[in-house]
Amino acid sequence: MQEVVDQLEIWVEENRSHTILGETAKYIPALAEQDPSQLGICIMDYDGDTYSVGDTNVNFTLQSVSKIISFVALCHFKGLDFVLDKVDVEPTGESFNSIIPFEIHRPGKPFNPLINAGAITVASMLPGDTVEEKFDRFLLFVEGMIGHNLELDDEVYQSEWKTAHRNRALAYYLKESNLLDLDVEEALEIYIRLCSISINLKDLAKIGLVIAHDGFDPVEEQQIFSSDVARIAKVLMVTCGMYNSSGKFAAHVGIPAKSGVSGGIMASVPPKWHSEEKAFRKGCGIAVFGPAIDANGNSAAGTMLLRQISTEWDFSIF
């Protein structure tokens, strides 16, 4: 649909000016070097057709987008009940890398898998006895959805490893609470490896498409993971996926999404069969990249672009 591409081109250029409202993630040296003026989007529909506009020929690292994917992978491998026994699904109201919830509330487990404490816990429990085995199993799971191999961005990985002081402190706290399946350094290594996987917009849109359709890949016509896991994943994306602006994003955009400080956002738009006059009524996966992030860690221009698209095409699930 050329009209879809034409409209997206207008919206991308309209929202590119919002990149000045953010800046690249300075606390991770490798991410600080990204071009803050970039903005791109890819939408993949039910048939696997893609609509890509803007800075789309760019690879970027998953960062916190990996958290929802690793949660889905762990639930697929070990079962939803097993995972929810170790990690809760409650929003915190605190920063994604905060230790305060543990100190004040002492919940006995991380509040949700999308804060760093929860994501480190989930990463440590992925199947495999070593970091390498866990990482390889995760890659195979993701590669099964996108159809080709993925690679680690070693420069980003090394940059994050050397600056992971707060995450290391969180990992020690988790170890003291008997929540890690690995030693602290190994748990931190697998977590940072997942964050440092290099991906492109088309691949991320495909993962978003599968989540949107309850774990079913409509392109390959196969169930990748259970609908129960996909349902919990979408709830987490709505309530916790956009850091401390998740509530505002739900109110103004209204679609399940997960962001990362590299500037990536993965969104899952479920089908809306009653909206025949609107685009993508069979649902779609959306991936946005805009490395200038706001104070909450979300792509400044990417968030505004998603808001406009959701409003104009009636994507909100609410």
306 burial via Cβ count (<10 Å: 0-12, 13-18, 19+): buried
- Overall domain count for the chain: 2
Q: Residue 96 has what pLDDT?
A: 52
The answer on 8 and 106 residing in a single domain is: no
Is residue 290 included in any domain, yes or no?
yes
Residue 302 to residue 188: CA distance in whole angstroms: 29
The answer on 45 and 77 residing in a single domain is: no
Is residue 135 included in any domain, yes or no?
yes
CATH of the domain at 240: 3.40.710.10
Residue 121 to residue 204: CA distance in whole angstroms: 23
116 is in an annotated binding site: yes
Q: Residue 179 has what pLDDT?
A: 84
The answer on 211 and 102 residing in a single domain is: no
57 is in an annotated binding site: no
Provide the domain limits for residue 284. 2-60+200-313
Q: Residue 133 has what pLDDT?
A: 97
64 is in an annotated binding site: yes
Among residues 168, 195, 222, the one where a domain terminates is 195
pLDDT < 50 positions in the chain: none
Q: Residue 110 has what pLDDT?
A: 84
The answer on 304 and 227 residing in a single domain is: yes
The answer on 308 and 242 residing in a single domain is: yes
149 is in an annotated binding site: no
Looking at the whole model, is its pTM more than 0.75? yes
Is residue 318 included in any domain, yes or no?
no
Q: Catalytic residue positions?
A: 64, 67, 191, 243, 261
The answer on 180 and 249 residing in a single domain is: no
Contact indicator for 206, 45 with CB cutoff of 8 Å: no
HEC profile for 230-295?
HHHHHHHHHHHCCHHHHHHHHHHCCCCEEECCCCEEEEEECCCCCCCCCCCCCCEEEEEECCCECC
Q: Residue 97 has what pLDDT?
A: 53
